[in-house]
Amino acid sequence: MRYVLLFLSLTLFYLEQVYHAIADGGIVYNLIFLVPAILLLASIESMMLGFSGKKASRVLFYVILSVEIIFYCAQLVYFSIFKQPLLFAAVGNAGADALTTYWREALTGILNNWYGILLMFVPLVVGIVLDKKEKLTFSQMDVSAGVFSLLWTVVAVCVSGVILVCGYYTKAEFYHDYQGYYDPLSLVESYGLSPTLARSLLGDFLPEAEEDIYVAGSDDVVMSGGQEEVSTETPAPKETVTPQSTERPPAMAVPTEEPVDTSPHMFTVDYEKLSGMVDSKEFRKTVSAYQSLEPTNKNEYTGMFEGYNLIYLTAEGFSTYAVSEALTPTLYKLLNEGIIAKNYYVPLWQTSTSDGEYVNLTGLIPNQQFSMKRSGANAQPYSLGAYFGGEGVKCYGFHNGTMSYYDRYISHPNMGYDFMASLLGDLPKEEWGDKVFPMENAGYWPASDLDMMKATIPYYINEERFHVYYMTISGHLNYNFLGNRMSSKNKDLVADLPYSTEGKAYIACNIELDRALEYLITELDKAGKLEKTVIVMSADHYPYGMDVNNYEELAGKELEDTLDIYRNSLVLWNSEMEPMVVEKPCCSVDVLPTILNLFGFEYDSRLYAGRDILSDSEGLVIFSDRSFITETMEYNKKTKEKVYKVDSVTEEDYEAMKKQVKTIYDYSAGILNQDFYRYVEECRIVN
């Protein structure tokens, strides 16, 4: 049995390395978590075999070996589609939907990774050969073998425990990575798939290493490693400065002869009461972070669109590189008028589209997986739907996909939307049938954004005022002319482009989004609603379903392992405004607070991870692995590359920014996990 134990250990190590060699082009060098995890799993498997009979032991050996191989093959295929590891939460939350919705993508993933799948089956072949040569023995576990397996298990557990304890007390970066579980993808790349999956089962079992909360512009902290102290004082607003990176539009701006209100966007809150609402250290830490964050100020653009309509789109898989004046003239127009954010990014999060929606609709960083779905159980008084609905505005949400997918039928109404979809999914028709809007070609994959506009605009176009949210789907992977109906529909329009088939198919399906926006603008104009309507659009993620070489072909530059792969474009447009250029770095998490400021809503800017991009606050882009970009520095965690853009930046500034990024991460998680908005609303002091 000792040889079996050794074989199982080596097999797991081999499968890990094959997975990494194909998935992320390397191998796992940091074995601090991987080796103990493999030893522990292999010893458990060995004991299972030892407690079986001789014949049963041999059968179970091949079952275990086959399950491991199939599991790693599934991980490889899943990663090739979604660029994320397949965690247990994903299997439980969306496994059935994924199997039925993405079967085409899964088939493509298998075909594209045939060589990796073959390599994965090498241990099975080797095991059969060794078994035939009687190099592997299967028998009832005797005392010595049992002691050996038990010692092996104890050693693995002890080594894991020592590593974690040492990491906790030394506040080591590897412990923060593992305990914080901020980005499973970077965790897999750094430490291995097995340890990451083990972490997904541990949940919140691991204690968080105490660390101070960052306070902007101060050497002090709100909470130290010991007992928390929550102040009842309102933070003083920072000194107002004029944003140097924003060109002011000549039209629509507040008249210069009137003084500009530069007071902070923040509520008056009874912090002492708030801190005592929940008897929890984690909750008090969230309160401390809430107080520590610096509010953004009102500015000359505050209320610029007060009383207007808002149409807000999350565009599936959209990228700047799909846009050209010739093929997508409406997108080209929208991106070159209105607010032109030259350094705009859309990070990729763990649950891709759903997390992209979550960022766009909440202005928060997602916490692990399925943040949008989990938010459906929380109070959402500070969502766009709640703000517009509070003014008596009718709020609609539309999606040309399945109502039940990602449980949007729960999360989106919870944010104040009358949510409808073109397909019902597995929801009972008698209960949800009235939430399906009749649309032509609803069964197409992907469905047409233009058909969605034609079907849904009549719902709201005659309203006195409206706010509408769209989740589009025409830009969905895979990008080819066989399984993508939108690509094949517009194939002739891209036939002469000098790109790969995948690149041409990607542009073709985004032509459908362009036609949808063209139709939307035309119908608004016909109804006399265009001048008083603002259109906002941000992607959910870049088209990760494309081969990176083909994506680089469209971009005309190298993107792999750079933060530029997440560079994108923001649409924030009104037909009457003059173009306005924003140079500072910003991202999708900033869109919601920017909208709230432009529409003149009274909100607390500290309740969001993002910042109004027209404010005088420093630009900050945070990525899923805690890489970041500011106006003065840039850090790529994957490559460990640091770039200081100005000579005055020091190592201390960099360390302070890392702490600030971590604080924002933890704070966003606290808001979601602790239903924080519910308690803030109860503790607001309304004058």
Instruction: Give per-residue pLDDT as tens, 80-124.
Output: 888 888 887 776 665 555 555 667 778 888 888 999 999 999 999
Q: Which residue has the tokens 């399950």?
A: 67
Domain boundary among 178, 202, 226: 202
Task: Please check whether residue 289 lies inside any domain of the structure.
Answer: no
Average pLDDT score, the chain: 88
Would you list the DSSP string of 388-455? HHHTT-EEEEEEEEESSGGGHHHHHHHTT-EEEEEE-TTS-HHHHGGGB---TTTTSSSPPHHHHHHH
Task: Please check whether residue 296 lies inside any domain of the structure.
Answer: no
Task: Please check whether residue 238 lies inside any domain of the structure.
Answer: no
Does 339 lie in the same domain as 473? Answer: yes
Q: Which residue has the tokens 């916490």?
A: 367
pLDDT confidence band for 181 (50 / 70 / 90): confident
Selection from 525, 526, 483 nearest residue 502 by Cα:
483
Would you list the DSSP string of 533-585? EEEEEEESS--TTS-HHHHHHHHTS--TTSGGGGEE--EEE-TTSPPEEE-S-
What average pLDDT does the segment 249-277 reach? 80
| pLDDT tens digits, 505-530 | 999 999 999 999 999 999 999 999 99
| Angle ∠(509,510,516) on CA atoms, nearest 5 | 105
Selection from 498, 601, 597, 508 nearest residue 556 by Cα:
498
Task: Determine the pLDDT at residue 183.
Answer: 79
* CA distances in angstroms from 484 to 129, 278, 477, 488, listed in the order given: 44, 50, 8, 6
Domain boundary among 169, 202, 235: 202
Does 192 lie in the same domain as 311? Answer: no
pLDDT confidence band for 236 (50 / 70 / 90): very low
Share of the chain above pLDDT 90, in %: 67
What average pLDDT does the segment 313-336 reach? 98
Is residue 445 within 8 A of residue 478, CB to CB? The reply is no
Does 329 lie in the same domain as 194? Answer: no
Q: How far apart are CA 684 and CA 674, in angstroms?
A: 17
Task: Please check whether residue 266 lies inside any domain of the structure.
Answer: no
Name the token pair of 122. Answer: 């090498």
Domain boundary among 177, 202, 227: 202
Task: Please check whether residue 684 lies inside any domain of the structure.
Answer: no
* CA distances in angstroms from 481 to 105, 445, 474, 505, listed in the order given: 13, 12, 13, 6
Task: Determine the pLDDT at residue 140.
Answer: 60
- pLDDT tops 70 at residue 222: no
Does 439 lie in the same domain as 554? Answer: yes
For residue 237, what is the DSSP state? P
For residue 297, what is the DSSP state? B
Min mean pLDDT across 188-197, 248-257, 482-491 is at 248-257
- Give the residue, 514 or 230, on which the prediction is more confident: 514
Task: Please check whether residue 591 lies inside any domain of the structure.
Answer: yes
Task: Determine the pLDDT at residue 216.
Answer: 55
Is residue 645 within 8 A of residue 631, CB to CB? The reply is yes
- 96 is in which domain, residue-wise? 2-202
CATH number of the domain where residue 405 is located: 3.40.720.10
Task: Please check whether residue 603 lies inside any domain of the structure.
Answer: no
What average pLDDT does the segment 340-354 reach? 95
Does 323 lie in the same domain as 180? Answer: no
Is residue 542 within 8 A of residue 317, CB to CB? The reply is yes
The sign of the dihedral angle between the CA atoms of 360, 361, 365, 367 is negative
**Judging by beta carbons within 10 Å of its beta carbon (0-12, 13-18, 19+), is residue 84 exposed, middle or buried?**
buried
Is residue 116 within 8 A of residue 22, CB to CB? The reply is yes
Task: Please check whether residue 433 lies inside any domain of the structure.
Answer: yes
Task: Determine the pLDDT at residue 142.
Answer: 64
For residue 256, what is the DSSP state? T
pLDDT confidence band for 257 (50 / 70 / 90): low
Q: How many domains does the chain have?
A: 2
